[in-house]
Amino acid sequence: MKVTVVIPAYNEEQYIGACLASVIANGANIHEIIVVNNASSDNTESVAKSYPGIHVVTETRKGVTRARQRGIDEATGDIIAFIDADTIMPKGWIDDVVRSFQNRPAMVCISGPYRYYDSTRSQDVLLRAFWWISAPLTYMLVGYMVLGGNFAAKRSALAAIGGFDTSIDFYGDDTDIARRLHTQGKVLWRMNFNIHTSVRRFEEEGLLRTNIRYALNFISVALLNRPFTKKYNDIRIGSKNINK
């Protein structure tokens, strides 16, 4: 089972190196690693190209869904895994993906929550509590859930639903892809399927405000098939940082 890893990146020169090193360390089950340079103005592209075996492509249209869709268009693996440029992939993450798909033929997607590698102790406690309070109940009620920077899906299922809705700028894109993948088979959410990411977005936007915004967009997409939050002028792709 061939796994393609897609990493959208916009101005991520400080983070992309550690991300790629963690992916490469995950070993032989990785078929290819694609970095989608989303119109970066820093050294993201050159840093990514300095790592062996990395396929770097450029998507000039800003937007996380456009970058991820470009990754799908370039991918040749049976499974496409999507992570963010500021994430650190735990050892065994790819092996877990492969085993999960092999053991569940009806499954089309697997996802799980973030863990935060640079959070304070109080931030970590609050964020873990948020995930455990909200995610299992939500998944039980609607039957699907995806975190955009921590999921893997069958390429055939992504093709069947037409990939990402590129009209969605940022918020709501993961709920939208989860809802549509759910029509193709099992979308599995596991609380122990973690990837490590930066807490920087919560520090910049506020923990409570960001979580409320996520919740509103999830509900809006699940019930109305459209995100609650509209457009932003400057979107930080592959990170969790958005400037209005």
Quick check: 36 and 68 in contact, CB under 8 A?
yes
3-class SS of residue 238: coil
Read off the pLDDT band of 235 (50, 70, 90). very low
Give per-residue pLDDT as tens, 45-68: 999 999 999 999 999 999 999 999
Q: What is the pTM of this model?
A: 0.85
What's residue 155's pLDDT? 97
3-class SS of residue 151: strand
Quick check: 96 and 188 in contact, CB under 8 A?
no
CA 214 from centroid of its chain's CA atoms: 14
Query: What backbone phi and psi angles, to 5 degrees, belong to 63?
Result: 140, 135
3-class SS of residue 33: strand
Domains of the chain: 3-236 (3.90.550.10)
Quick check: 46 and 54 in contact, CB under 8 A?
no
What's residue 239's pLDDT? 38
End-to-end C-alpha distance for the chain, whole angstroms: 41
